[in-house]
Amino acid sequence: MATIQESFVLPSHGKLYAEEFNPRITLRSMTTEEEMKRLSPSDNEFENLAEIIDACIKEELPVKAYDMCIGDFQFLLHKLRVVTYGSDYKMMLQCPNCGEVVKSSVNLDDEEVHEFNEDEGLDLEITLPVTKHVIKLSLQTPRMLDVINSKAKEQRKKTKLNIKYEVMYTAMSLINTIDGQKANEMKKEKFVRELPLKDTNYILQKGDEINGKVGLDASVIAKCPNCTYEVVTNFRIQPEFFGPEVN
């Protein structure tokens, strides 16, 4: 089968898991069958993508993409796109200078990668500003994000209330231990529900900060083709990502 293969080093260096492994992996390009799988309806947004990534990795790793830290998962997703379609990615963006909505080209190979620094480590322990509880945070995974969305939908269906339960479940997913003690889901839910909002917001922001320390930089710089202004924007996966126009 004629496929393209490229090798990459995971941003985590394979050190953020229960079993350390060689971070150099080889990705092959996607097939038509895998694109059909990607487009198939699923209750879990990340599960199909993770299975496709696993199928395209040549090596046998001790951890599946679904259970990798978000930094490694997003890195692999972007590199899979590069191997399959190339690094040129056209994003629709609105220029803050001239107001035009334009299509601008981004080179995915130019994205900044934050690599895990073993000497610095990751400080996962925080002290909440109001209650002073000491929380050890968890690195999020694609599986955890799917669980958050699933539980939130289930709660809305159960309560018949259009409430953003994702806030609570995201905070719960980020909590590993409370004051040095492991907590089951019931205890964590009660804990988060009763937390002062300032503490919950602190958990959410620190979680984003820590999860963002490994992996791709979420921002991109693109030049507006209309006025040449340099636009700094958050990276977004648009239809062009897995379905680029044929020139």
Task: With respect to residue 167, please indicate whether it lies within any of the assigned structural domains.
Answer: yes
Q: Are 105 and 143 part of one and the same domain?
A: no
pLDDT digits (tens, 9 = 90+) for 162-191: 999 999 999 999 999 999 999 899 999 999
Task: With respect to residue 129, please indicate whether it lies within any of the assigned structural domains.
Answer: yes
Task: With respect to residue 107, please indicate whether it lies within any of the assigned structural domains.
Answer: yes
Which token pair is 144? Answer: 């955890």
Q: Are 30 and 87 part of one and the same domain?
A: yes
Q: Are 22 and 95 part of one and the same domain?
A: yes
Q: Are 136 and 178 part of one and the same domain?
A: yes
Q: Are 39 and 161 part of one and the same domain?
A: no
Q: Are 63 and 167 part of one and the same domain?
A: no
Neighbours of 204 (CB within 10 A): 14
CA distances to 24, 144, 168, 205 from 194, rounded to whole Å, are 44, 22, 11, 18
User: How high is the pLDDT of residue 152?
Assistant: 96
The residue with greater pLDDT, 242 or 61, is 61
pLDDT digits (tens, 9 = 90+) for 6-57: 999 999 999 999 999 999 999 999 999 999 999 888 889 899 999 999 999 9
Task: With respect to residue 223, please indicate whether it lies within any of the assigned structural domains.
Answer: yes
Q: Are 15 and 110 part of one and the same domain?
A: yes
- Per-residue pLDDT band for 194 (boundaries 50, 70, 90) equals very high
Q: Which domain holds residue 131?
A: 125-211
- CA gap 118, 16 in Å, rounded: 10
Q: Are 113 and 157 part of one and the same domain?
A: no
Task: With respect to residue 25, please indicate whether it lies within any of the assigned structural domains.
Answer: yes
Only one residue has tokens 């879990």, namely: 44
- CA gap 196, 203 in Å, rounded: 11
Q: Are 14 and 107 part of one and the same domain?
A: yes
- CA gap 2, 170 in Å, rounded: 42
**Structural domain total, the chain:** 2
- Per-residue pLDDT band for 226 (boundaries 50, 70, 90) equals confident
Task: With respect to residue 247, please indicate whether it lies within any of the assigned structural domains.
Answer: no
Task: With respect to residue 37, please indicate whether it lies within any of the assigned structural domains.
Answer: yes
User: How high is the pLDDT of residue 1?
Assistant: 57
Q: What is the mean pLDDT of the chain?
A: 91
Q: What is the reported pTM?
A: 0.89
H-type helices in the chain, by residue range? 32-39, 47-56, 70-85, 142-159, 166-174, 185-194, 197-211
Q: Are 9 and 109 part of one and the same domain?
A: yes
Q: Are 96 and 218 part of one and the same domain?
A: yes
Task: With respect to residue 246, please indicate whether it lies within any of the assigned structural domains.
Answer: no
- Per-residue pLDDT band for 2 (boundaries 50, 70, 90) equals low
User: How high is the pLDDT of residue 145?
Assistant: 96
Q: Are 144 and 190 part of one and the same domain?
A: yes
- CA gap 191, 195 in Å, rounded: 6
